Amino acid sequence: MTFSVHIHVQSRRDSFSEIARSDAEVETLFERLLAAGTYFHNPSMYVVERPTYGPAEVPDHAMKLDVDVAANLGALAYAGPEPDGGPWISLSDTPHPEVELYQDLGSGYRFPSDAVIPLSVVREAVLEFRRSGGQRPTCVQWQEAEGF
């Protein structure tokens, strides 16, 4: 089965909420996400074909991120229904205390420095997230998080 990922971005330069059905479309939206600049909320995504719940039809899973394009770094948060559904945040062998990335831009809650990973890995995780149907990407090391 082929999956579609809905990517939502709100920023000063560009805001969009679009569906990508292929790796090429994901790559295009990821480039827009990187070029969008300062975000109002964390860019987030979910796989369209997965179950939703409640009257608002909230997805049963999601992944969100923050990036520092100049530093070529980013961080991920994931929550899902599987037995180890989380929440989870990315884990790096090399902490980056010099980079400020936010797990929740609305509250100002920062990712810990050991959640910061190379932007190339963030990109691959977004691609894998769509390909796998919204499962937690295996190309990333993960650590348990206190919240999504």
C-alpha 107, offset from chain centre: 17
pTM: 0.94
**Residue 65 and residue 74 in contact, taking contact as beta carbons nearer than 8 Å:** yes
Element (H, E) at 21: none
**Number of neighbouring beta carbons within 10 Å of residue 98:** 10
**Residues 53, 56, 60: CA angle, nearest 5 degrees:** 30
pLDDT above 90: percentage of residues in the chain? 84
Say which residue the tokens 């000063």 belong to.
Answer: 12
Low-confidence ranges of the chain (pLDDT < 70): 82-83
pLDDT of residue 85: 74
Q: Which of 132, 140, 139, 142 is nearest to 85 (CA)?
A: 142
Report the chain's terminal Cα–Cα distance, integer Å: 28
